[in-house]
Homo-oligomer: A and B are copies of this chain.
Amino acid sequence: MMRFTKLYAPSTKEAPKDATLPSHIFLLRGGFIEQLGSGLYNFLPLGKRVLSKIQAIIKEEMDFAGAQEVALSFVTSAALWQESGRYNAFGKELLKFKDRKDNDFVLGPTHEEAMLSLVKNKITSYKQLPLHLYQFGLKFRDELRPRFGLLRCREFLMKDGYSFHSNEEDLGREFDLMHKTYSRILERLGLEFRAVEADSGAIGGSGSKEFMVLAKNGEDDILLCENCDYAANVEAAKRAKKTCDKQRPEANYASKFHTPNVKTIEALADFFKIDEFYTIKAVVKKAIYENESKLIVFFIRGCDELCDTKAQNACGALELINAEENELLDASLVPGFIGFIGLKNVDFYIDCELENEKQMIMGANEKDYHLIGIDVMNLNPERFKDLIEVKENDSCIKCGGKLKRSKGIEVGHIFKLGQKYSRAMNANFLDENGKSVPFYMGCYGMGVSRLVAVAVEASFDEKGCIWNKTLAPFVLEIILSNPKDSKAAHFANALYENLKKQNIEVLLDDRDERFGVKMNDFELMGFPYALIVGKGLENNELEFIERKNLQKSVINADEALNFLKDLL
């Protein structure tokens, strides 16, 4: 309940050039947020109202699920991160600093270590388990390229929860409960979402699910089965093993064949008149580790693409970057003709779909030569990893149905961490038999400030935001066309005061501005409904506008209060 003349919502016509996404543009232009540096944002009153509403819903559902709210220090001792091994492993996104006494600290980008250290030596028996603690906490991740406004910024507000269990099954129960809880939160927020299989990344653990809000400008690619409920981030998607009904070539094992200048898979398939399915492609990457970097070759089917995240997980690197041709030559690799037979002093991995494949064609590690009739067998099983990127129209691993590709924005991620952190940090409890066991741990994150932007990505038009009633900073705007029209002003004020008494979140645009300016702000800021008090009042008529479709209707002034009370 507020008058626009009092509200601090400095709207603008132009957005900064680097703003390309609707949420970024409209939230800045509508005066919801303000940028104060790369990846750093202030929430202005409109933005803060939306943020608080999201936070309140998350809190209700987390409390309902039995989690307990805490508030952990944002500034975290570096020692905890050294203990878990993530102080270096987290990379440059971890912001490190020293205090006046030269002690090392980090600005927590996530709080697994801090939360584990909190319960360590306090929770000592299985009888005290399970336990789920959560917080709404600031996080800082020093992104290399902060962008897209609130979607990829450096300081942000997150709901992060951490649960502790005496066994794997109980962790599974909590994981399922959080699956339900997150689903209920997103339903209440009015967002269309999918829970998808995900890569666990730097957080780690034995399994995770991402909650993706479907939005055409989403950063993430997800694959959804047309037939069943299978859904996965492309980084983690699996498929039923690919098959090919084209004829398989035949040759004696590892015959060497002269293939002058045949350096690409396309050229190779064309040369042998076979399908790319029967060729093996070598992709060379430079893997960065904490104290070294080295070239690694990934072998996949010629018709597939390497999935970088899977490749990185396969070799356990902190990061994979492209390898330059001269680096290949320095390592005695022959670009265009690399194969795993006769490969020397270079680590390699093979996509698991190639295991036991026969009659394949691949490079001979010699310029202008390929080997044909290759059987992919008798290799160390550790070499075989899931490396390939699942594509649209690949077959679902669960039901064989067709996979469809879609865009999503990650808003939540839940993890079964298992004993990864508790082992590293020696955080144990005594089980029923008096045996000391590391906690089974889960963690559950939801991007609270990010959800403000996601809600816009999920609902906007070319004029601005379209908030639903749950998230809108105000559900109704009364627009007084001409504040100098005293009869209209009197009516609008009385209605405003009446609605205030009903606790309806109403904004009265009482500014001395042109009507067009007021309408533009209404459309940009995207309150669900507007009621225009203008000249029509002489005939006892008001104009009612629904923001969603900008549909207008005329309502009787005498019935306005009851109409609005029913609606809101």
A: which residues have CB within 8 A of B? 2, 6-8, 10, 34, 36-38, 40-45, 47-49, 51-52, 66, 68-77, 92-93, 95, 97-100, 103, 107, 114, 117-119, 122-123, 131, 133, 135, 138, 140, 142, 144, 154-155, 157
B133 touches A8 (CB 8 A): yes
Which of A2, A40, A51, A76 has the most chain B CB atoms inside 10 A of its CB?
A40
Q: Report which of B44, B48, B114 forms a contact with A42, defined as CB distance below 8 A.
A: B114
A37 touches B77 (CB 8 A): yes
Min CB distance A37 to B, Å, is 5
Given contacts A37-B77, A97-B97, 8 further A-B contacts (CB under 8 A): A10-B122, A38-B103, A49-B69, A51-B71, A75-B140, A75-B154, A92-B100, A99-B154
Write 6 A-B pairs (CB below 8 A) sorted by A numbering. A10-B123, A36-B72, A36-B118, A42-B114, A71-B157, A74-B138
B117 touches A73 (CB 8 A): no
Q: With contacts A36-B114, A45-B133 known, is A142 near B100, CB below 8 A?
A: yes
Q: With contacts A97-B95, A118-B42 known, is A48 near B73, CB below 8 A?
A: no
Q: Which residue of B lies closest to A97 (CB)?
A: B97
Copies assembled:
2
Q: Report which of B8, B36, B117, B135 forms a contact with A117, defined as CB distance below 8 A.
A: B36
Q: With contacts A8-B131, A8-B133, A155-B75 known, is A42 near B70, CB below 8 A?
A: yes
Min CB distance A93 to B, Å, is 8
Q: With contacts A34-B118, A36-B114 known, is A42 near B6, CB below 8 A?
A: no
Q: Which residues in B have their C-beta under 8 angstroms from that of A98?
A: 97
Q: Which residue of B lies closest to A121 (CB)?
A: B10
Q: With contacts A34-B118, A142-B100, A155-B75 known, is A70 near B41, CB below 8 A?
A: no
The distance in angstroms between the C-alpha atoms of A256 and B8, with both chains bound, is 69
The distance in angstroms between the C-alpha atoms of A114 and B34, with both chains bound, is 11
Which of A48, A76, A100 has the most chain B CB atoms inside 10 A of its CB?
A100
Which of A8, A40, A47, A131 has the most chain B CB atoms inside 10 A of its CB?
A8
The distance in angstroms between the C-alpha atoms of A202 and B107, with both chains bound, is 26
Q: Which residues in B have their C-beta under 8 angstroms from that of A70?
A: 8, 42-45, 48
A72 touches B42 (CB 8 A): yes
Q: Which residues in B have their C-beta under 8 angstroms from that of A49?
A: 69
The distance in angstroms between the C-alpha atoms of A73 and B40, with both chains bound, is 6
The distance in angstroms between the C-alpha atoms of A51 and B2, with both chains bound, is 27
Min CB distance A336 to B, Å, is 37
The distance in angstroms between the C-alpha atoms of A138 and B71, with both chains bound, is 11
Min CB distance A35 to B, Å, is 9
Min CB distance A34 to B, Å, is 6
B133 touches A77 (CB 8 A): no
The distance in angstroms between the C-alpha atoms of A131 and B34, with both chains bound, is 17
Q: Which residues in B have their C-beta under 8 angstroms from that of A8?
A: 68, 70, 119, 131, 133
The distance in angstroms between the C-alpha atoms of A157 and B71, with both chains bound, is 10
B48 touches A99 (CB 8 A): no
Q: Which residues in B have their C-beta under 8 angstroms from that of A77?
A: 36-37, 40
Q: Which residue of B lies closest to A59 (CB)?
A: B52
Shortest beta-carbon contacts, A-B, top 10? A97-B97, A43-B71, A10-B122, A45-B68, A40-B73, A92-B100, A42-B72, A100-B142, A37-B77, A48-B69
Q: Which residue of B lies closest to A105 (CB)?
A: B37
B74 touches A74 (CB 8 A): yes
B118 touches A73 (CB 8 A): no
Q: Which residue of B lies closest to A133 (CB)?
A: B8
Min CB distance A387 to B, Å, is 30
The distance in angstroms between the C-alpha atoms of A52 and B55, with both chains bound, is 13
Q: Which residue of B lies closest to A130 (CB)?
A: B6
The distance in angstroms between the C-alpha atoms of A487 and B304, with both chains bound, is 68
Q: Which residues in B have their C-beta under 8 angstroms from that of A133?
A: 8, 45
The distance in angstroms between the C-alpha atoms of A38 and B73, with both chains bound, is 11
A71 touches B42 (CB 8 A): yes
Which of A70, A71, A74, A97 has the most chain B CB atoms inside 10 A of its CB?
A71
Min CB distance A451 to B, Å, is 14
Q: Report which of B2, B37, B72 forms a contact with A73, defined as CB distance below 8 A.
A: B37
Q: Which residue of B lies closest to A164 (CB)?
A: B8
Q: With contacts A75-B154, A75-B155, A107-B75 known, is A69 near B45, CB below 8 A?
A: yes
The distance in angstroms between the C-alpha atoms of A69 and B44, with both chains bound, is 8
Q: Which residues in B have their C-beta under 8 angstroms from that of A47?
A: 71
Min CB distance A477 to B, Å, is 17
Q: Which residues in B have their C-beta under 8 angstroms from that of A51?
A: 71
B44 touches A142 (CB 8 A): no
The distance in angstroms between the C-alpha atoms of A43 and B137, with both chains bound, is 12
Q: Which residues in B have their C-beta under 8 angstroms from that of A42?
A: 70-73, 114, 118
